[in-house]
Amino acid sequence: MSDFPSGLVIERSHPLHKLNDPATIRVRCGAILAAVERGVSMHFALDRSALPAVADRVAALTLKRFPDLKIPFHSRWRHFEPGGVDRKGEMDALMQGLGTMEQARARFDLTVVSVLLDAGAGGSWAYTEAGTGLQLGRSEGLGVASFRAFLAGTFSSTPGQPLRADASALQKMDASQLRAVFQSSPSNPIVGLDGRASLLARLGQVLQQEAQHSGLQARPGLMFDRIVTDAATGQTRSTVEAADVLGELLRTLAPIWPSGSVIKGVPVGDVWPHRWAGNLVADGRTDAVTAGWVPFHKLSQWLSYSLLEPLQWAGVQVTGLDALTGLPEYRNGGLLLDGGVIRARDARLLDRQWTPQDEFIVEWRALTVALLDELAVLVRQRLGKTAQELPLACVLEGGTWAAGRELAKERRADGGPPLKITSDGTIF
């Protein structure tokens, strides 16, 4: 595999850097929400009178799932918990001989690889966990399968060190290895093995190049080192901003995505054009270079949320949690559609097959981001919590994602989302 072309990484000085700022996500999505409110959209209308009922559902489900309101972050680590099995404790026991920093690198390795393997599995696939006998499908099955593979050393090429994922092993990953990881067979088929293997291979190559430039270990854990190291002093920081976690992921992982938009010759990933996006960025400023583009970075934000706990477990305080946005995907966006807050002007549009770049989908996702912020305020009011006590990451987990899945099951026999999108799994 040849080197990636230069210029793919958007540094802070790059003219497209504003697309990596979560504040830009909110401003551009807000501009689209305002346009829909003005009635100029040909795709959607809003019914704000439905929002309180959706907030009631989310608050009630949150209390049912977390009666003490001690709500964890919306994170890949929740998918390691099915059946009440303490898999994290199992991993912790295996890491007892490792120092705090090395444990954090191992958790970063696991989280990054597991999130990248979390594309759709197909409705007929399931994973059976040895030892517990649990049979798990969808994200929970993918999560536990990748967790077990990680503990078994599947992603490590370092003898005697199974609890790591390194560039050498990732670059050699192929569909046959993943078929074994996920117990896939003609009678238990999982979709997209070739795509997942290619994504891990690209990750391995990027990490190899990053290690050559930085002198760090060629593994996802190098992003932990970069996040917690003060670039000016070289000292380890005890506090980091959530937006900086996202920025590091976007900077490092930019070359691995197989799809997404290209602006001025630079691949920018989950960023799409919309006629009502405008040119505003943070603090009322404007940016002509990125005008008309809406960044979402859904998978990178999902990964950011999933890395918050590994940072905290390493003693690093993460501040500014609500700088990250709600995740514009099937469950959150489906909740707002099925809940009647967002309404397609022509119901037949929901039966069509769409792609991520279609304006209809970009608009739906932008509305989802903007309305999740409003919904979070209502949910907190119902639960008697402040934004500091119940950050958006906890509202999502409490929460909106579970309510979206619940409502989908009520509306459709297969529990599928209310619209259809053709995607390679790196967007949704």
Q: Collapsing DSSP states into helix, strand and coil, what is residue 199?
A: helix
The strand pair at 353-354 and 342-344 is best described as unpaired
The predicted pLDDT at position 2 comes to: 34
The predicted pLDDT at position 275 comes to: 97
Backbone angles phi, psi at 137, to 5 degrees: -115, 180
Task: Give the tens place of pLDDT for each residue, 41-62.
Answer: 999 999 999 999 999 999 999 9
Return the residue matching tokens 């007929």.
Answer: 124
Contacts of 379 (CB under 8 A, 6+ apart): 55, 58, 59, 62, 390, 395, 398
pLDDT band at residue 10 under the 50/70/90 scheme:
low
Greatest Cα-to-Cα distance within the chain, rounded to the nearest angstrom: 62
More confident residue, 1 or 64: 64
Task: Give the tens place of pLDDT for each residue, 239-258.
Answer: 999 999 999 999 999 888 88
Average pLDDT over residues 19-29: 96
Task: Give the tens place of pLDDT for each residue, 111-152.
Answer: 999 999 987 777 789 999 999 999 999 889 999 999 999 999
Residue 192 corresponds to which amino acid?
G
The predicted pLDDT at position 266 comes to: 85
Average pLDDT over residues 376-398: 97
The predicted pLDDT at position 8 comes to: 41
Burial class (CB in 10 A: 0-12, 13-18, 19+), 82: middle
Single out the residue of 371, 398, 381, 425 nearest to residue 178, CA to CA.
425
Average pLDDT over residues 384-396: 96
Residue 308 scores a pLDDT above 50: yes
Q: Which two tokens stand for residue 85?
A: 């099995």
Residue 278 scores a pLDDT above 80: yes
- Average pLDDT over the chain reads 93
The predicted pLDDT at position 7 comes to: 36
Q: Are 88 and 80 in contact (CB under 8 A)?
A: yes
Cα(213)–Cα(317) distance, rounded to whole angstroms? 28
pLDDT band at residue 310 under the 50/70/90 scheme:
very high
The predicted pLDDT at position 3 comes to: 34
The predicted pLDDT at position 14 comes to: 80
Between the ranges 188-192, 212-216, 364-368, where is the mean pLDDT highest? 364-368
**Cα separations (Å) of 97 from 103, 216, 322, 367?**
9, 21, 35, 48
Return the residue matching tokens 């490092």.
Answer: 252
- Of all residues in the chain, the percent with pLDDT exceeding 90 is 83
As a whole number of Å, the end-to-end CA separation of the chain is 26
Residue 428 scores a pLDDT above 70: no
**What length does the chain have?**
428
Cα(181)–Cα(203) distance, rounded to whole angstroms? 18
Q: Are 175 and 197 in contact (CB under 8 A)?
A: yes
The predicted pLDDT at position 12 comes to: 65
More confident residue, 379 or 426: 379
Cα(164)–Cα(174) distance, rounded to whole angstroms? 18
Q: Are 127 and 144 in contact (CB under 8 A)?
A: yes
Which ranges of 38-171 would DSSP assign to H, the alpha helix? 51-65, 87-94, 100-116, 138-151, 167-171
Q: Which two tokens stand for residue 154?
A: 């599947």
Q: Which two tokens stand for residue 125?
A: 């696939």
Task: Give the tens place of pLDDT for each residue, 78-103.
Answer: 999 999 999 999 999 999 999 999 99
Residue 367 scores a pLDDT above 60: yes
Residue 216 corresponds to which amino acid?
L
- Residue 35 parent element (H or E): helix 22-37
The predicted pLDDT at position 425 comes to: 66
Q: pTM, whole model, 2 decimals?
A: 0.93
b/e map of 327-359 (b: 16 or more CB within 10 Å)?
bbbbbbbbbbbbbebbebeeeeeeeeebebebb
The predicted pLDDT at position 120 comes to: 75
